[in-house]
Amino acid sequence: MTKTIQTEDAWRGEADCKTCSIRDSVLFSKLDECLFERLHHPIEQISASPGTTLYRSGQTGGHLYTLRHGLVKLVQYLPDGNQRIVRIARDTDLIGLESLLGQPYQHDAICLQTCEFCSLPVDVVRRMAGECPDLQNELLNRWQKALSEADAWLTELSTGSARQRVARLLLRLSKQNEEHLCYLFSREDMGSMLGVTTETASRTIAEFKRQKLLMDSGKGCYSCNLEGLQRLAED
C-alpha cells in the first residue's frame, strides 16, 4: 500500500535556495541574487519515506518538484489494472512539469527510497520564467530531458529479451555514479519497468549474480560488471 504525502508523513522546512548544495544542477541555477530576493512564496523542502506517494495521476497540482536526493518511480496504470513504471526520477530531476500547463499530473510519483524534494509553487515558477529568459530556457531543457528519458525507456527497456532489458536497466542505473553502483528495486517493480513477469525478473537477477555481473555491496546496492552487461545488452 502506498500513501499520499501528508504533513504527518513528511518533514517540511523552508529551503534556502541561495546556499543550496545542488543549486548549480537544479531549476533555479540561472537565477541571480536580485531575482532570488523576489521569491515571495517560500520554497518548501520535503523529506518522505519509501512507499510515500508524492502525487497521484489525475490530481490537479499547484507544485512541481525537484528531487534533491533519492529515487522516485513514475507509474501509469493499464486498463486491466496492472501498473507500468514509465520512468525513474533521480537526483536533481524535475517532476510534475505538466502542472505548469494547468494539466493534472500524468503519473503516480512514488518514493522508492527516502527522498528529499524541493516543492516549487507553479505560480512562482511561471512568474520567474516570465522575468528570466534563462529560466525559460532551463524549463525547456528539463522538458527535453524528461522526453528523452521517456524515449530511452521505451526503446531500450521495452524491446529485446528479458536478459537484454535487465542488462540495459542495470547499465543505465550504474552509469549515474563514479562507483558504478546501482540500487536494485523489488522484482515486482523491475517487472513493471521492463514489461516482464516478476518471476522472470527474479530469475534473471539471480542468474546475473551467479555470473558475477552483479556483486553485493551492501545496503541494497550492487556493483556492476559493465563490460559483461554491455555485451549482454548488445547481443
- CATH label of the domain that carries residue 8: 2.60.120.10
Could you tell me which residues come within 8 angstroms of residue 74 by beta carbon, excluding any fewer than 6 positions away? 85, 86, 87, 88, 89, 95, 107, 108, 109
**14 within some domain:** yes
Kindly report the pTM of this predicted structure: 0.77
Tell me the average pLDDT across 30-48.
Answer: 64
Domain boundary among 119, 134, 149: 134
The reply to whether 106 and 40 lie within a common domain is yes
Arithmetic mean of pLDDT, 75-89: 87
Mean pLDDT value across residues 66-89? 88
pLDDT for 13 equals 42
Q: Is residue 150 part of a domain?
A: no
Give the mean model confidence (pLDDT) for residues 188-212: 93
Q: What residue numbers bound the domain in which 227 lies?
A: 162-234
List the grid coordinates of 30: 540561472
Give the per-residue pLDDT at 168.
93
92 and 51 part of one domain: yes
How many domains are there within the chain? 2
Residues of the chain with pLDDT > 70: what percent?
A: 81
Q: How far apart are CA 169 and CA 179, in angstroms?
A: 16
Per-residue confidence (pLDDT) for residue 12, from 0 to 100: 43
My answer on whether 124 and 204 are in the same domain is: no
158-172: average pLDDT: 92
Please tell me whether residues 76 and 125 are part of one structural domain: yes
Query: Using 50, 70 and 90 to split pLDDT, how confident is the model at 32?
Result: low
Average pLDDT for the chain: 81
207 in any annotated domain: yes
Higher-scoring residue by pLDDT: 34, 3: 34
Q: Are residues 11 and 113 in the same domain?
A: yes
Q: Do 97 and 188 sit in the same domain of this protein?
A: no
Contact 121, 67 (CB under 8 A): no
Examine residue 129 and state whether it is found in any structural domain, yes or no: yes
Q: Which of 146, 44, 52 is nearest to 94 (CA)?
A: 146
In this structure, the answer to whether residues 183 and 108 fall within a common structural domain is: no
103 shares its domain with 25? yes
- Mean pLDDT value across residues 151-164: 87
9, 113: one domain: yes
Domain harbouring 185, CATH code: 1.10.10.10
Share of the chain above pLDDT 90, in %: 37
Does residue 78 share a domain with residue 121? yes
152 located within any domain: no
Residue 142: its pLDDT value, please?
A: 82
Lowest mean pLDDT among 9-18, 23-32, 112-121, 189-198: 9-18
49 domain residue, yes or no: yes
Judgement on whether residues 104 and 172 belong to the same structural domain of the protein: no
Comparing 29-43, 56-70, 132-146, 203-217, the range with the smallest average pLDDT is 29-43
Query: Taking the CB of residue 25, how many other CB atoms lie within 10 A of it?
Result: 13
Q: What does each C-alpha distance from 129 to 21, 27, 30, 134, 183 come to in angstroms?
A: 22, 10, 10, 8, 35
Query: Would you say residue 144 lies in a domain?
Result: no
Residue 27 falls within a domain, yes or no? yes
Do 109 and 183 belong together in one domain?
Answer: no
119-143 mean pLDDT: 81
